[in-house]
Chains A and B, each alone.
Chain A
């Protein structure tokens, strides 16, 4: 099992550009989520999904869009990037014992 795979690992954008962070898991987990990590702010939930076709907002959803067409994939879209979205983004899926399995993270810089 590859676990949770995120791409890209690093990305630099200009203000106003759009992009998609990809996330895939091969553990057949129903629940997937996206967090952003900023210094001193911990991990903040952006969006989550409890299964294919179902998504919901977390604590900081503004400026982000998600969809869940398959169990395996949960992409995060930045519609019009802003400097405030400079962060490290983690995708995670929930195992059957309650453990969150995180991807390696994607470091995004918006200029």
Chain B
């Protein structure tokens, strides 16, 4: 089955700096790569996703890049703010459902 590795497990940045979280996947048939954000005590929520026919996607301060050859994808957050502090999960799927999640990255943005 699909195996998704996520790094780093914890990340601390100063407000205004950029944050990058990286994921690799094992199944070359995977074609859908979402990112979820989970604030403390809350449910995970989708923040951005990318499909295998696209190399990069941006939404305001967040962007995701995909390298199909290397089987890795990354989340980029620019101009970080304290409210970006949360756990971020990457995921991969070859079916459009049955997502396989990484183990998460705990991001702390300090003022």
Q: Name the residue of chain A whose CB is nearest to the CB of B9.
A: A40
Q: Name the residue of chain B whose CB is nearest to the CB of A99.
A: B46
Indicate if the CB atoms of B101 and A43 lie closer than 8 Å.
yes
Indicate if the CB atoms of A42 and B44 lie closer than 8 Å.
no
Q: Does A50 contact B (CB under 8 A)?
A: yes
Q: Does B103 contact A (CB under 8 A)?
A: yes
How extensive is the interface on chain A, given as a class? 20 to 34
Please, how many angstroms separate the alpha-carbon atoms of A76 and B33 in the complex? 27
Given known pairs A100-B46, A105-B43, the reply for A42 and B32 (CB within 8 Å) is no
Q: Name the residue of chain A whose CB is nearest to the CB of B104.
A: A42
Interface residue tally for chain B (C-beta within 8 Å): 22
> Per-residue 0/1 for A39-67: is the Cβ within 8 Å of any B Cβ (1 yes, 0 no)?
01111110010100000001100000000
Indicate if the CB atoms of A98 and B100 lie closer than 8 Å.
no
Tell me the minimal C-beta distance from A60 to chain B in angstroms.
Answer: 12
| Interface hub of A35, A42, A102 (most chain B Cβ within 10 A) | A42
Q: Name the residue of chain B whose CB is nearest to the CB of A4.
A: B43
Indicate if the CB atoms of B97 and A41 lie closer than 8 Å.
no
Given known pairs A90-B44, A103-B43, A105-B43, the reply for A45 and B99 (CB within 8 Å) is yes
23 contacts between A and B (CB under 8 A): A31-B97, A35-B101, A40-B103, A40-B104, A41-B103, A42-B101, A43-B44, A43-B89, A43-B101, A45-B99, A45-B100, A48-B98, A58-B98, A90-B43, A90-B44, A98-B34, A98-B49, A98-B96, A99-B49, A100-B34, A100-B46, A102-B45, A105-B43
Binding site for B on A (CB under 8 A): 31, 33, 35, 40-45, 48, 50, 58-59, 90, 94, 98-100, 102-105
